[in-house]
Structure formats: structure tokens, C-alpha cells
Amino acid sequence: MNTQPLIIVSLGFLLTACYEGITPGAETDGLDAPPSSAGDEAGASSDGPGEGTDADDGGDSGAPNPDGEGPAELPQGRTIRRLTADQYVRSLEKVTGQPWPDYELYAAAMGKADFAEITEHDQTLSVTFEKFANDAAIATCRDAVDTDATEGRDTILRFAGIETAPDGALLPSSEADVRANIQYLFLRFLADEVELDSPLIDPWAELVLAPIVPSEDLSADAIGRERWAAVCVGLATHVDFLTY
Amino acid sequence: MHSFLKRRAFMMGLPAAAAAASLGRHISPVMAMPGDGHRFVSLYFNGAWDVLLSLDPRDPASSPAGIDLGTDDLIAGYQEPDEWTFGGASHLIGPAMVDLQRHADVMTIFRGVNMNTVAHPTGRAYVNTWIPPAGVVPKGDSLGTRMAAGSNYEDFLLPNVSIGLPSFNHAFAPEVTGIGMGRSTDATNLVEPIATPFSSDTAALLQQAREQSQSCIGAGYSDHPTPKVNIARERVQELLGMQLGAAFDFTSDEDIQGRYLINNPQNGAEAGVVAATIWRLLDLGLTTSITAQLQAGLDTHDSRWATNQGPRQRTGFRSIAALLDDLRTTDPSLQNTTVIAHSEFARTPNINGRGGRDHWFANSILVFGGGLRPGVFGATVPDTLGLTAVNLQTGLPDDAGEVIRPEHIGATLAHARGLDYGDFRVDPLTHWIA
């Protein structure tokens, strides 16, 4: 329990919460904002590609510009990358507290390089990665919720629980508890501090609070667990979790 | 927004197709050919093949001065080439290719292709893109990606599949980026859940929450990942909804085991399993372009050359023959199909001190269909297996001609499909296009 704040802070650095891209005046990961580029209409219009303005060149210091005339098309800044397969599975284990034992079976399909035939980790947001990342998330999230429910841990279910009445009926958590728990999960999974009344929480709260209709195959308790596991899966496969 | 409307219409019949496949029956041609999609298959023989046993053999009776054929060391059945007639002429073909003779009418062999390398990673990069690599770093796009981009790829859930090989996409739409599988048996795991899925109600609620949830990634990024994730997620949902798992499980499919001579259906590296998986992916209309490692274990620097090189090549070619049998049921002359088989380079004409052959840059490439004329284009020096210039119109040796390079083949296949070939920076061999 005492390590949770440290883990969350660490994840904050790993997952780098919200990032805004390169826009005028925006944070650029400590780098100076790039000069106007060919993709930036204002900067490109006067000189055309390949010829920099004084501002492009960073002023005339008298020193030779290592880039010569200046690049024709500057990149917009850092690009968004998907976690590698290893990074994803380690992150998943960190946030759910559960390992995914099948990982080695599917690591290659998720893009892990074998350094024999394939020497680069695939970091594309591909169908295969999406498929197996979803499988991994379902397996670990189910385990995490089950462990919370049966062993009294609070990895996923910290401010809301799954309690049943003696007759097996699910005792619903209050909406406030559900939102508080999702707020906590946003911080845990996405390193994103959101307000309790943030609309970002709404879709996930609706998922949990939707009416529960038990069936012969699925008890109210099982449905309750599934709902929270689904929230866990949703956040563990959220684009903000998958990319940095 | 990505549109799957056409594909959805086609896919409505897929569960039935999967059921048919599970029963070992052929799937109807109507289902097998959605739209007007051209099928592209690229098959890689890993380790560098010995073309003297297959694509560019010599007659032992000719006793070539600069070539040690090692005939006496070879196991029975791999000592003598055979004479085949195709493309209007007779050609010597090595014993490892015997099973392909029934497909010689649609076969084109390019001989004397200068790989300009004897380093495996460089050669692998070269035959992936067919553009000269920068050292070991591939340049440009995978040929499979290029072919998928030139197809009606919106009709396919998995437009471009790559099995056991990297796939590159720098210039084309993200939808045609190669969908990687480590092994062919991953196809089963791709089309069915491996974790206990959520109940339908919970799954629907999760999908709804995902659709309503927002990303905090700023709009300033030109490569915002959300559209790519949404495309991938939609495709996965459709794949899982089709319940195709049985179609890729060959353990109880005696028909496909027999036709593809599969020993172990669960061995995703076995050539027969790879070829059968390719056929299923194409036959079910899931993909239009597949690149795969078909065979491995060919890097025979020692005496295993005599025992392994021939049989392993033959296993690979036999799988190609079975695949062609199936492909030609719906496209007999392969007018809408291209199958290319290649290795990173060839093996030396002389046998080394360990009884094996080392790396040799004069390679041969095998193509079926693809809009090419059947026959043999190019040549190597008869006595040395060395490179020689050929007339780019006739394909015959000509001192005033040019040595063929892989980019000639890439450009020719692209041009034959009506695709731009500028990236290859050579002119296609237009006289070899039918």
C-alpha cells in the first residue's frame, strides 16, 4: 500500500499524461518550439521550402549553420509512439497488479523483435497489437477485479466495491463512489488528474451504473465484476495508455 | 472515416464459409474473390538457397570448369536436373523443384540477379522492398505493402499480412501497413479470443464507453493515433464476430493436411502450414497481400548442404505447388494473382572445406503469374555461376546489356499491376510483361 503513490508518480513519468502536440506557445517537452516549417503556412509562404528566413536560421550569429540553408521540411516535433510489446505488458502488470502468463506466446505477434529475423520492435497501432493487447487487458483486468473482490485488495476497486446481499443481489455502489473510483483509475492508468465531475468520467460511469440484469449464466456479482473489469480494459487499451 | 461497407456486404457470408472450411470443403469461388482484388503472395526462403539444385542448375555431364556440383555427395533424387519445356523453350530445372512442374505454364524465372551483397540482413532487406537497402536498413516500402495499396484494400479486413517478416510502409495509407504475425499459427489466435470474452451486454457497454471517451492527446499532432486505433479496433471486432477460428485450425482438417503435406498442423513454421494459412487468408477474402517466410534452414555452410539443402528447398516448393493448385482453381492462368518466391542470395558454386557452400551474390527469383510471360529471363555464366549482362528485351546474354538487379523485378511486377514504379529507379522489363 505504501508504494502506491510512488508507482503512480512513476507511471506518470512513463506514460506522460496529456500531451498537446506542437502548437504555438505549447509545451514541447523542454525543447524550444520549432521554427515555422513547410507545414506551417505562415513560415512557408514567404520563402518557400528549402530557404529559411532569419528567424528560421535562429539569427545571424556569424557561426556556420550546421544545417546549411536550413531543412526544407522540419518535423513538427516529437512524434507519438506506441509502447513496445514489452513496455505495454510491463505497464499492464504495473497498473493491474497481475501478470499476463501468455505473453511470451504472443510477443512476436505484438511486435516484439526476436533480433534474429526481426531486429526492430514494431510500434505500429496494428490489428494484431490491438487484438492481443485487448486479450492481455481482459485477462489481467479480470484477475485484478477478482483478486480485489475475493482477497480484499484495492488495486482496481478502491472507492467502490462489489457487494452482494444475502440473496445474491448486487448492492450497487453510489454514483459518487463509482465516479471517485474512476477518477482514481484515471490517475492510476493514464496519469491523468481529472475532476470528479469531469465529462471524461461520464462514459465509464455509465458503463458501471447501467442496469444489471442477472441471468442463469451470469449472476449479478459476476456482472458487477465484469463491468469493473471492462472499465479496466477500456483504460488499459485507451490510446493515452498505449502511446507516449 | 474508414468505410467497410463493401467489405461488410461481402463478409455477411463468412460464417458459412468458416463452417465450410472447418469441414474441409472448398469455399465457393464467389466468396474467394471479393471485388476485383489482385492477390499478391511473396514467399521467402530463409538462409540463402542453392540455385544449382533448383532455379539455375547445371548438367553434370557438362562438367562446368568453375563449378563443383558435388553430385556424388548429394542424396538420391537430388543429383540430376531435368529438362522442362515452358515459355516456348527448354530449360534445365533442378530436382528440388520437381513438384512445380505442373505449374510451369505460369512460371517465370529470373536468373543472374545481382544481390550485391552476401550478408543475410542486407539481402533480406533487399528482397523485402526490392529497392537497394542502406546497409542493412531497408529503404522504401515492402513490395507487399505496395501491392496492397494498389488493390481495393478497403474490401479486406487484413489488407496486408506479413508472417515472420517485417513489413514497411512509408508512403501509403495506414490501412495497408503490414499486419504482422510471428508465425502462421498466430492466425488462429488473431481471429478468436484467447481470453474469456465479456458477455455481450458488457462488451456493448464497453464499446459505447470507448466511442464516447476522449483522448487528451493534442490536436497539434498530425499523426494522431486515435484514427489508427479505431481502424484496428473495428477490424478486430469484425474478425472476432466471424468466428473463424476453426478455419485456421488444421489439426482436424485432413483435406488440407493431405493437400499441403502437413506433418504437424500446430507447427507454424512448417512450410505446409504457412502455405495453407496463406490460402485460407486469401480464400476467406480476409487479405489481398501476404508476405511470409515459407522455409528456413538453408544456410548450409557445412556437410548438411548435401543432406538438407535439396529436401528443404523441395518442401518449400512443394508447398508452393499446393498453394498454386488452390489459387488456380479460381484464377487458372493467374491473371489476377502474383506469387513470388525468393531468397536473400544464392550459394557458392564451389564447395568449401567443410563440405558446404557459402554465400553467393548471383541469385535467381521465381515468379508465378503477375502478368509476366512464362519462361526464363537472364542467365549466369555457364562455367562459373557468375553474373553476366543480358539484353533487357530478350533476357539473353549480351555484353552490351545490363546485369539484372532486384529493383528490375520490383519495377516489373509493379508496372505489370499498373502501379507506379518510380521508387525502384530503373525501367521495368516491359518486354517480359505479357
Q: How high is the pLDDT of residue B175?
A: 77
| Spatial distance between the Cα atoms of B250 and B270, rounded to a whole number of angstroms | 12
DSSP class of residue B308 equals I
| Residue from B192, B201, B214 whose CB has the most chain A CBs within 10 Å, to mutate | B201
pLDDT tens figures, B129-168: 999 999 988 999 999 999 999 998 888 888 999 998 888 8
* Helix A85-96 / helix A220-236 crossing angle, nearest 10 deg: 140
Q: Which helix (H) or strand (E) holds B409?
A: helix B406-416
Q: How high is the pLDDT of residue A69?
A: 55
Q: Residue A80 — φ and ψ, nearest 5°?
A: -80, 135
Is A149 in the B-facing interface, judged by CB distances under 8 Å? no
Can you give the residue range of the structural domain that contains B354? 5-193+224-432
CA proximity to B363, closest of B132, B137, B117: B117
Going by DSSP bridges, is the β-strand pair B362-369/B107-114 parallel, antiparallel, or unpaired?
A: antiparallel
Q: How high is the pLDDT of residue A72?
A: 54
| Spatial distance between the Cα atoms of B72 and B64, rounded to a whole number of angstroms | 15
DSSP class of residue A83 equals P
Contact yes or no for A173/A160 (Cβ under 8 A)? yes
Contact across the interface for A21 and B220, Cβ inside 8 Å:
yes
B251 lies in a domain?
yes
pLDDT band (50, 70, 90) for residue B363: very high
Shortest Cα–Cα distance, A230 to chain B (Å) = 6
In chain A the first and final C-alpha atoms are separated, in Å, by 27
| Spatial distance between the Cα atoms of A37 and A55, rounded to a whole number of angstroms | 11
Contact across the interface for B218 and A79, Cβ inside 8 Å:
no
Going by DSSP bridges, is the β-strand pair B39-45/B337-343 parallel, antiparallel, or unpaired?
A: parallel
B216 lies in a domain?
no
Shortest Cα–Cα distance, A42 to chain B (Å) = 16
pLDDT top residue among A38 and B305: B305
B154 lies in a domain?
yes
CATH of the domain at B110: 3.40.720
pLDDT higher than 70, residue B73: yes
The pTM for the full model equals 0.75
pLDDT tens figures, B201-214: 999 999 999 999 98
Inter-chain Cβ pairs, chain A and chain B, closer than 8 A: 175
Q: Which are the contacts of B229, defined by CB distance < 8 A and separation ≥ 6?
A: A125, A130, A239, A242
B211 lies in a domain?
no
Q: Is B334 exposed, middle or buried (0-12, 13-18, 19+ CB in 10 A)?
A: buried
Contact across the interface for A76 and B199, Cβ inside 8 Å:
no
Is A144 in the B-facing interface, judged by CB distances under 8 Å? no
B202 lies in a domain?
no
- What would the grid cell of residue B137 be? 536498413
| Spatial distance between the Cα atoms of A233 and A227, rounded to a whole number of angstroms | 10
Q: How high is the pLDDT of residue A171?
A: 67
ipTM of the complex: 0.73
Is A136 in the B-facing interface, judged by CB distances under 8 Å? yes
The shortest CB-CB distance from B182 to any of A26, A109, A240 is to: A109
Q: How high is the pLDDT of residue B188?
A: 86
B372 lies in a domain?
yes
In single-letter form, the type of residue at position A50 comes to G
CA proximity to B292, closest of B229, B331, B341, B332: B341
| Spatial distance between the Cα atoms of B98 and B48, rounded to a whole number of angstroms | 19
Total domains present in chain B: 1
Q: Is the dihedral of CA B57, B61, B62, B67 positive or negative?
A: positive
pLDDT higher than 80, residue B80: yes
Residue with cell 509502447: A83
pLDDT tens figures, A207-229: 999 998 888 888 888 999 999 99
Contact across the interface for A111 and B208, Cβ inside 8 Å:
no
- Average pLDDT score over residue span B302-320: 97
pLDDT tens figures, B36-47: 579 999 999 999
